[in-house]
Chain A
Amino acid sequence: MKKIILKQTGFNFGWKPVHVEPATLKGEFYGPRKWQKKAFKKSHKEPFVIINAPMGSGKSWLMCLLAVYKLQKDPNLRCIIAVPQTIIASGFEEANLLMPGTNKELRWFAQHNMCMETPSEGTIKTVIKFLKGPYGFLQDRVLLCTHATIIAVYKRLKETKQLKLLHNLVCWIDEAHHLKNALVEGLEDATISNGMGELVNYLTRYGKNVHLGLATASFFRGDRLSLLTPKMEEQFVRFNLPYDDYLESMKYLRSFNFDFLLSGPDFIKGIRTLLKTRIGKDIIYIPSPNSRCALGCKYETCDQIIEAYRKVFGGKRIDRDDGVTILRRKDGKELKILDLVQEELRKDKKAFVGKIKDKDDLDVVIALGMFKEGANWIWADRAIIVGARSSLLDEFQMIGRLFRDAKGKKNVEVVQLLPFSLDQTNSEKFRDNLNNYLKAIYASLILENIFNPVKIQVPKGKKKKTGSLPESVDWLSELLPDDAAKLSLIEDVSNTLMGIIDTPSIESVDLWEEYNSVLPDILDSYGIKSHVDEISKQIWGMFAKRTLSVAGTSIDKIDFNILQQASPIEFITKYTSGVCNIDTFRKLRSAIGQFNSADENKKKLLKLAMNGEPRPDGRLGNLLCNYLAKKGKCHDLIFEKEIRKLRPDWFVNTADENKKKLLEIAKKKECRPAKNKHPLGKVLINYTNEGPCYDPVFEKELRKLRPDWFVNSADENKKKLLEIARNSEDRPTNKTLWVTRLTKKVANLGTALLSYTKKGSSYDPIFDKKIRKLRPDWFVNSADENKKKLLEMAKNGEPRPQKRKHPLGDRLVNYTNQKASGGSSYDSVFNKKIRELRPDWFVAQHDICDEKKEQLLKMAKAGELRPVTKKHPLGSVLCTYTCSASGSYDPVFDKKIRKLAPQWFINTVDNKKEQLLKMAEEGVSRPPEKKHFLGNALSSYTCSKTSSYDPVFDKKIRTLRPDWFLGVGKWKRNAS
């Protein structure tokens, strides 16, 4: 037997110890919980199953159990579990299952975990290979991937006509609310589907031996489109775990509050108010920067929130390396805040969340788009949602974070912070705010009903249960399972109730009767024809429960008679008391009246007209214009005729007068009246542009008289640009200026060209097409050209183009570095390509630094002179590695080199100052700049604007030699 002996130097080889022991699978085996048992019983023999259960209730475990059951039963089956994001995959990675019935122990894990693996053949090819088989053992028949992967696989199989590979499959789709299969109104069988929807459609229609499971906590979409068509849904067996049942199964969590706070436009104040009541384990969801209620920059908003916590909690702010912000008080107490809005260190922050093991590890999370689906921080007990969200699903996901059981967590609280007040004079804003307010209230009603539904006892004779209390049913959810539709129904009912009430003190009994007379029609419009009485009671109960809970009445197991006596909608007033100091209810009613009762307004206007009062201004004046505007949506011809007849004086046409004046100005060859400067500027626009005041005859006449008034500088620019293009000139840059001929404006043609050809407010598609046709070379993507050039350079073995020295140096950095220029120019394909071609161009900076440091140490050891900046290639780097203020400062190297060559670090500045003071004392003349080696130094040490300015030295030398500073020159100001 040959033994190979290596004698070459520079090689490193040999056995090294490993101190860590390989781990084994641990943990006890568990059987299903009560609800899981029920769900298993209902669904284990069904091919198509929907599991609708709250977050954290154990859906994933049940899915694994059902999958194993089917895989064990049929050896031909394989299983794919799809999750929306890789981080959610952890719930399916392993489970210790005790199989129901047999009590057989089974260690579940997905042998093919595409959320962890990076297959060399690519994920899609690997999944297809998995579907083709063969398989080794039970777990080898399980694959875990993302929704995106399974959709891509489906598309690939469809393209390659291999869809049969999807037969004999158990497919579980987690977070199935991402599905879309919506019927198109008026078109039978036409559906709008997303990728996942198409896959589900295929599997339910054509799949052979296919077992499909959909699991979600919220079986509805934010956009209110359906997940499955009614035909598809018919095929599924559905198991719902209501929130109240889930809450009952929890060990610690017992109750839930939903509250509003109208905070005024600055919601930070609202947050501070909340924090003063208590600092909980908070999740704060701030609004998107594009939202109406955003304060502007999202990062600043987060800083303000942290500051709000600091003001209430106290302490000093410390930003830790792992992205956690700590407020540390002198008494040692800390508040840990995780700002997920700031993208920096987001990976570390996510990892931090995953590692939380203790209640004290984290106190506050600030999030915007994150920390909804799949996020797990069990100690969170309060969600503060800033702004009303249009998506119930979104809100539901946010609230869902709180519904995790944790020791000591008895109650969770959701606060919807509405950053506005209803006490506003601007009617448009008021209307918006009102809409947001109502939106939030309706959503809260639905959410509350989801978490703690009003149930109605089954009437006698319909369902019988022997020996137990009569069964209660959530009829509304039974007959209208789609929560988005429920939201819309509640909105309709609420508006109807508002319409019924004339005075705030209406007796509830009357309202109840009125309500019952109108409700059947509303329910009918939602396709609800049965159990109308029960649903009517239930919806009333939803409103009434809220009213009573606000009034402080315990609503646990409340009798419906008490609910019936409560005055619904009253709660709206309660929520704002003490915040806005207005009678919100009255305001709401009048506001709703404003927008819903146009007849009332018309009546008021006619009354004013008849009473001989002057034409109204303000809101009624605007409404009058709206009712008369022929092209407007509110135009009412009968009303117009009537009111014109009554009050012709209200309609003396000032427009004719204005037009006359404008024609006179035009004839006098005066300048066009400017929009915001001349009283006729605005009306000129109105008369000559499409709109209610447009007068084509006047426009034609005016244009004939003064065509120059209608020349748009943009038109002139475009003409000029087309001319340049035709003349084969270069593409105008942002330095190409010209003065427009007619409008006499200075225009930047480069910028103008960009704005007319790039999607935005000034974009002109016709011009864009024209100019691109004329000069395609102007629109060649310079980035593509640059990349081509860079690849050529790389192939030709040229050195890397240096940043700031070579025109392509900066570009190369931008294309290959995600962090450079905000990542907007980063091109992953090009990056990979060029790095493959020229790895030497990308030698890590730290390697270069190490080399340079080694060279410097060598020089120091050899006793060489200190390398001088700008003269020696290592001069400037020596400064940066040894200057503590520099970003590249290396304390170890600094210590080392100072020890080796202390002479390199003698402060030359102090020396120079000493010499200058000596010269000053000796009475010699001031060392001239550029001629004496100390001339420049003196100037810089005594000029307050330089970085080397030394005020002590300056004072000293000026006292010694004021004559040095009296000369006329650029340092004269210092002398004064």
Chain B
Amino acid sequence: MLVNQKNWSCPKKQKARWETIISQYQKHFGNSLPTDSQYWTMCGQCGTENGEPLDGCEPSQLIADGLILPEQFYGVEINPEIHVLNVKAFPHLNWINDDFYHAMVVEQSQNNFNPAIVNADLPQTPDGGGAYISKLLAFLTETAGDVLFIANLILRMKYYTAKDGDYVINLLNDYPQFRYAMSEGNWKLADGFYEYNGAGNTGSRIYMGSFVFVKIC
């Protein structure tokens, strides 16, 4: 897998994070995470190849905005090369090189899982990632308390016809895991969905969509 992916710290991404994570958490729960809870994210690359933090990347932004403390950050990355760069750039944060779902299950099995925010930033379309999102929601239904869950999906890209929020929810409704979560977890979809076009410093043909689910026990 390649390192040096897109610039995840570009203003568009930061704005999207502010709208879908910081602002949403503050609206539903409070200004910052309770100290005993965690922030879980599929974070992507946060450091340069030289091991320096990328300006405005996810941990930097959330810590700088006072939403979380460094020790509350749990960044999961499946690519070992990127994981190494992240560790190098932010040695004081919690980094896990694993599949996102599996990483959470492992932590839960060790009674060390208390998420307040779970950010599933999938590099997948709704059709490709719907099953995974549903699986995460079912898992959080069973294992988490009050939590904000953000599912970020690609809504438009090359060879993929643009999709909207109705399409995504209709698609998720087909998965029994999703319906189970909605039945048993007291989840609510917040404020429609947030759409923005891609990351990077230039215009992008890729459209992303963030769906924010709130679970208040």
Q: Tell me, in angstroms, the Cα distance from A11 to B13 when the chains sit together.
A: 12
Within 8 A of B (CB), among A738-759: none
As a 0/1 sequence over residues 180 to 211 of chain B, the CB contacts with chain A under 8 angstroms (1 = contact) are 10111001010111111100000100010001
The segment from A134-142, A161-169, A442-450 that touches chain B is A134-142
Q: Tell me, in angstroms, the Cα distance from A135 to B158 when the chains sit together.
A: 37
The segment from A113-121, A487-495, A874-882 that touches chain B is A113-121
Q: Which of A10, A16, A111, A113 contacts B195 (CB 8 A)?
A: A16
CB distance from B128 to the nearest CB of A (A): 6
Q: Is the CB of B19 within 8 A of A20?
A: no
CB of A22 closer than 8 Å to a CB of B: yes
Q: Is the CB of A13 within 8 A of B12?
A: yes
Q: Is the CB of B169 within 8 A of A129?
A: no
The segment from B33-41, B44-52, B88-96, B135-143 that touches chain A is B135-143
Q: Is the CB of B197 within 8 A of A12?
A: yes
Chain A residues with Cβ below 8 Å from B72 are none
Q: Which of A16, A25, A119 contacts B179 (CB 8 A)?
A: A25
Chain B residues with Cβ below 8 Å from A22 are 169, 172-173, 178-179, 182, 187, 189
Q: Is the CB of A13 within 8 A of B16?
A: yes
Q: Is the CB of B194 within 8 A of A111?
A: no
Q: Tell me, in angstroms, the Cα distance from A19 to B170 when the chains sit together.
A: 10
**With contacts A24-B179, A25-B179, A136-B143 known, is A3 near B18, CB below 8 A?**
yes
Chain A interface residue count: which class?
35 or more
CB of B87 closer than 8 Å to a CB of A: no
Q: Tell me, in angstroms, the Cα distance from A19 to B211 when the chains sit together.
A: 13
Chain A residues with Cβ below 8 Å from B179 are 22-26, 94
CB distance from B139 to the nearest CB of A (A): 5
Q: Tell me, in angstroms, the Cα distance from A176 to B159 when the chains sit together.
A: 39
CB of B30 closer than 8 Å to a CB of A: no
Q: Is the CB of A12 within 8 A of B207?
A: yes
Q: Is the CB of B158 within 8 A of A839?
A: yes
CB distance from A241 to the nearest CB of B (A): 27
Chain A residues with Cβ below 8 Å from B106 are 134
Q: Which of A111, A113, A843 contacts B139 (CB 8 A)?
A: A111
Within 8 A of B (CB), among A1-37: 1-6, 8, 10-26
- Residue among A11, A26, A107, A119 with max Cβ neighbours from chain B (10 Å): A11
Q: Tell me, in angstroms, the Cα distance from A19 to B169 when the chains sit together.
A: 9
Q: Tell me, in angstroms, the Cα distance from A17 to B194 when the chains sit together.
A: 9
**With contacts A23-B173, A25-B179 known, is A112 near B135, CB below 8 A?**
yes
CB of A93 closer than 8 Å to a CB of B: yes
Q: Is the CB of B131 within 8 A of A113?
A: yes
Chain A residues with Cβ below 8 Å from B132 are 117, 119
Q: Is the CB of B99 within 8 A of A16?
A: no
Q: Tell me, in angstroms, the Cα distance from A373 to B155 when the chains sit together.
A: 36
CB distance from A679 to the nearest CB of B (A): 68
Interface of B is mostly: helix
Q: Which of B11, B175, B180, B182 contacts A8 (CB 8 A)?
A: B11
Q: Which of A20, A21, A137, A844 contacts B142 (CB 8 A)?
A: A137
Q: Tell me, in angstroms, the Cα distance from A2 to B65 when the chains sit together.
A: 7
CB distance from A617 to the nearest CB of B (A): 71
Q: Is the CB of A18 within 8 A of B131?
A: no
As a 0/1 sequence over residues 112 to 145 of chain B, the CB contacts with chain A under 8 angstroms (1 = contact) are 0000000000001000100110010011001100
Q: Is the CB of B11 within 8 A of A12?
A: no
Q: Which residue of B lies closest to A113 (CB)?
A: B131
CB distance from A315 to the nearest CB of B (A): 35
Q: Tell me, in angstroms, the Cα distance from A23 to B134 when the chains sit together.
A: 12
CB of A239 closer than 8 Å to a CB of B: no
Interface of A is mostly: loop
As a 0/1 sequence over residues 64 to 100 of chain B, the CB contacts with chain A under 8 angstroms (1 = contact) are 1110000000000010000000000000000000010
Chain A residues with Cβ below 8 Å from B11 are 4, 6, 8
Q: What count of chain B residues pass the 8 Å CB interface test?
A: 58
Chain B residues with Cβ below 8 Å from A11 are 12, 196-197, 203
Q: Tell me, in angstroms, the Cα distance from A6 to B138 when the chains sit together.
A: 35
Chain A residues with Cβ below 8 Å from B166 are 18-20
Chain A residues with Cβ below 8 Å from B175 are 116
Q: Is the CB of B194 within 8 A of A14?
A: yes
Q: Tell me, in angstroms, the Cα distance from A632 to B115 when the chains sit together.
A: 83
Q: Tell me, in angstroms, the Cα distance from A133 to B197 when the chains sit together.
A: 38
Q: Tell me, in angstroms, the Cα distance from A139 to B137 when the chains sit together.
A: 13
CB of A109 closer than 8 Å to a CB of B: yes
Chain A residues with Cβ below 8 Å from B194 are 13-16
Chain B residues with Cβ below 8 Å from A117 are 131-132, 135
Q: Is the CB of A109 within 8 A of B192?
A: no
Q: Is the CB of B99 within 8 A of A120?
A: yes
CB distance from A14 to the nearest CB of B (A): 7
CB distance from B177 to the nearest CB of A (A): 6
**With contacts A25-B183, A111-B139, A140-B139 known, is A17 near B105, CB below 8 A?**
no
Q: Is the CB of B65 within 8 A of A1?
A: yes
Chain A residues with Cβ below 8 Å from B105 are 134-136, 140
CB distance from B16 to the nearest CB of A (A): 7
Q: Tell me, in angstroms, the Cα distance from A104 to B80 when the chains sit together.
A: 45
CB distance from A719 to the nearest CB of B (A): 53
**With contacts A129-B102, A134-B106 known, is A109 near B196, CB below 8 A?**
no
Q: Is the CB of B138 within 8 A of A111?
A: yes
Within 8 A of B (CB), among A407-451: none
As a 0/1 sequence over residues 100 to 130 of chain A, the CB contacts with chain B under 8 angstroms (1 = contact) are 0000000101011100111111000010010
CB of B14 closer than 8 Å to a CB of A: yes
Q: Is the CB of B159 within 8 A of A844?
A: yes
Q: Is the CB of A6 within 8 A of B65?
A: no
Q: Which of A4, A18, A119 contacts B14 (CB 8 A)?
A: A4
Chain A residues with Cβ below 8 Å from B142 are 136-137, 140
Chain A residues with Cβ below 8 Å from B196 are 11-14
CB distance from B19 to the nearest CB of A (A): 7
CB distance from B98 to the nearest CB of A (A): 9
Chain B residues with Cβ below 8 Å from A133 are 109
Q: Is the CB of B66 within 8 A of A1?
A: yes
Chain B residues with Cβ below 8 Å from A129 are 99, 102
Q: Is the CB of B176 within 8 A of A93?
A: yes
Q: Is the CB of A107 within 8 A of B180?
A: yes
CB distance from A779 to the nearest CB of B (A): 36
CB distance from A126 to the nearest CB of B (A): 8
Chain B residues with Cβ below 8 Å from A94 are 176, 179
CB distance from B183 to the nearest CB of A (A): 4
**With contacts A14-B194, A117-B131, A844-B159 known, is A109 near B180, CB below 8 A?**
yes
Q: Tell me, in angstroms, the Cα distance from A842 to B16 when the chains sit together.
A: 30
Q: Is the CB of B169 within 8 A of A6?
A: no
Chain B residues with Cβ below 8 Å from A119 are 99, 132
Q: Tell me, in angstroms, the Cα distance from A119 to B189 when the chains sit together.
A: 25
- Residue among B64, B142, B168, B207 with max Cβ neighbours from chain A (10 Å): B142
Q: Is the CB of B177 within 8 A of A111?
A: yes
As a 0/1 sequence over residues 140 to 169 of chain B, the CB contacts with chain A under 8 angstroms (1 = contact) are 001100000000000000110000111011
Q: Is the CB of B19 within 8 A of A15?
A: yes
Q: Is the CB of A18 within 8 A of B108?
A: no
CB of B15 closer than 8 Å to a CB of A: yes
Chain A residues with Cβ below 8 Å from B176 are 25, 93-94, 109
Chain A residues with Cβ below 8 Å from B207 are 12
Q: Tell me, in angstroms, the Cα distance from A133 to B78 when the chains sit together.
A: 17
10 more contacts with CB within 8 A, not counting A14-B195, A15-B19, A136-B108, are A4-B18, A11-B196, A12-B207, A15-B191, A17-B192, A19-B166, A24-B182, A25-B176, A120-B78, A843-B158
Could you tell me which B residues sit within 8 Å of A by CB distance? 11-12, 14-16, 18-19, 22, 64-66, 78, 99, 102, 105-106, 108-109, 124, 128, 131-132, 135, 138-139, 142-143, 158-159, 164-166, 168-170, 172-173, 175-180, 182-184, 187, 189, 191-197, 203, 207, 211
A-B contact pairs, 10 of them (CB 8 A): A1-B65, A11-B203, A18-B211, A20-B170, A22-B172, A24-B183, A94-B179, A111-B135, A136-B105, A839-B158
For the complex of A and B, 9 pairs with smallest distance between CB atoms: A134-B109, A18-B165, A13-B196, A94-B176, A109-B176, A24-B183, A23-B173, A137-B142, A117-B131
